[in-house]
């Protein structure tokens, strides 16, 4: 007996008038986004209360912790966050002395962002918890499922890139 999952049936059904109806809970883009949002909100409980930062602020800290220094534009591209959301996160983090702006001497309009010592301390405190959280999620999968999930992610990224190129 197979268990009913969202993948057993497509996202489109017919109503009484034979009009196609999108079942949002079975629509792959929605499923991926919903899962990502659910995981992000769950993970945010680890840092939100202690540091008073939200998901966008955490993503900025994580990118700067990983790469050392970046422009807000580069963070926006790397995280797929809208530039306005990045700008607000940067302003909030700067006001809390978690990040600092460094002007580019060759182009005074461009500013590179870096973690301050306070921001580095936050990053270093959260990283072990982030890795443990990721491990906890991955432990719900078998080794084979982990490999399959990575393959699925790679194939979906490739499909989106190919679609966008045409």
* Dihedral sign computed on CA atoms, order 2, 4, 7, 13: positive
d(CA 82, CA 45): 23
| CATH no. for 29-165 | 1.10.10.10
Contact indicator for 115, 64 with CB cutoff of 8 Å = yes
State which H helix or E strand residue 129 sits in.
Answer: helix 117-138
pLDDT averaged per 10 residues in sequence order, the chain, 166 residues: 50 70 92 96 96 97 97 96 97 97 82 97 97 97 97 96 92
User: What is residue 64's predicted lDDT score, i.e. its pLDDT?
Assistant: 98
d(CA 121, CA 98): 9
State which H helix or E strand residue 111 sits in.
Answer: strand 107-115
112 beta partners: 102
Cα distances (Å, whole numbers) of residue 8 to 4, 12, 156:
6, 12, 19
* Size of the chain in residues: 166
Q: Spell out the residues 6+ positions from residue 124 whose beta carbon is closer than 8 angstroms to its own.
A: 65
2 DSSP assignment: P
User: What is residue 108's predicted lDDT score, i.e. its pLDDT?
Assistant: 73
Burial profile 17-47: b = 16 or more Cβ within 10 angstroms, e = fewer:
eeeeeeeeebbeeeeeeeeeeeeeeebeebb
User: What is residue 15's predicted lDDT score, i.e. its pLDDT?
Assistant: 61
d(CA 85, CA 83): 5
């Amino acid at each position: 007996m197979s268990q009913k999952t969202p993948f057993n049936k497509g996202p489109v059904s017919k109503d009484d008038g034979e009009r196609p109806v999108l079942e949002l809970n079975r629509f792959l883009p929605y499923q991926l986004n919903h899962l990502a949002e659910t995981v992000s909100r769950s993970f945010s409980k680890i840092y939100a209360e202690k540091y008073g930062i939200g998901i966008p602020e955490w993503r900025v800290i994580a990118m700067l912790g990983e790469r050392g220094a970046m422009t807000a534009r580069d963070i926006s591209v790397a995280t797929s966050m809208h530039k306005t959301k990045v700008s607000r996160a940067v302003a909030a983090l700067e006001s809390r002395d978690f990040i600092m702006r460094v002007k580019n001497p060759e182009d005074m309009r461009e500013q590179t962002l870096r973690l301050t010592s306070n921001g580095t301390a936050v990053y270093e405190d959260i990283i072990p918890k982030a890795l443990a959280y990721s491990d906890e999620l991955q432990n719900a999968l078998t080794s084979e499922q982990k490999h399959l999930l990575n393959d699925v992610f790679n194939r979906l990224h490739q499909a989106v890139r190919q679609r966008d190129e045409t």
